[in-house]
Amino acid sequence: MRTRNPQNQESHEPRRWDGPPEHFGFGGPRRGRRGGPGRRARRGDVRAAALALLGERPMHGYEMIQELEERTDGVWRPSPGAVYPALQLLEDQGLVTADAEAGKRLFSLTDAGREEAAKAGDRTPWDDVTEGIDPQQFKLRDSLGPIAVAARQVAMAGTPDQKTAAVRILADTARKLYALLAEEPADASDAG
């Protein structure tokens, strides 16, 4: 009679992919679950950001998310799972009120909320999130997605001639990008 060794058994459970290896892509080690220098490079203070934004005007939760992404050039886009609990906490603390309007909740500051928002001074939470971050790095990274999608479409649906042309275009683009790195930066040549 054979006995089973649980260490040698193959698992029939699907294996989860944990993303690319460390230092894959650009931007250094992985940050967050999805890898790369993603939107989670830094976490902001969602509570303070909500107070600051509502100090300007009443807003919906999703509107706050969009506003924070815009004000940080895409560096910080808090999830609804961070924004709505923060708004609920602020409401429980009596700092905001929520009025239902066409199925959406419009949040606004109470008098106590205005006092709390005033304590922050001129410094805004989105300034803290973006301090020292070059937004061009995120724009460069985000511009790669549409290129990859287009290349995949050509690979799947293109004719052999279109695929050959796409390979040439991508190779030429890679050469041009490396040529950019070989150029002397404009500010370095001005200094000499």
Query: What domains can you pick out in the chain, each with its CATH number?
Result: 46-131 (1.10.10.10), 137-183 (no CATH)
Residue 105: beta bridge partners?
100
Amino acid at 160: P
Residue 180 has a CB neighbour count (10 Å cut-off) of: 8
Looking at residue 10, its pLDDT comes to 52
| Averaged pLDDT in 10-residue chunks for the chain of 192 residues | 51 55 47 41 76 93 92 84 93 92 86 90 76 74 88 95 96 91 71 48
What is the pTM for the complete model shown? 0.53
Looking at residue 38, its pLDDT comes to 42
Phi, psi of 133, rounded to the nearest 5 degrees: -105, 135
Looking at residue 15, its pLDDT comes to 58
Written as six digits, the tokens of 67 are 């506003």
Rounded CA gap, 48 and 55, in Å? 11
Looking at residue 134, its pLDDT comes to 73
Looking at residue 154, its pLDDT comes to 95
- As a three-state string, the secondary structure of the chain is CCCCCCCCCCCCCCCCCCCCCCCCCCCCCCCCCCCCCCCCCCCCCHHHHHHHHHHHCCEEHHHHHHHHHHHCCCCCCCCHHHHHHHHHHHHHCCCEEEEEECCEEEEEECHHHHHHHHCCCCCCHHHHHHCCCCHHHHHHHHHHHHHHHHHHHHHHHCCHHHHHHHHHHHHHHHHHHHHHHHCCCHHHHHHC
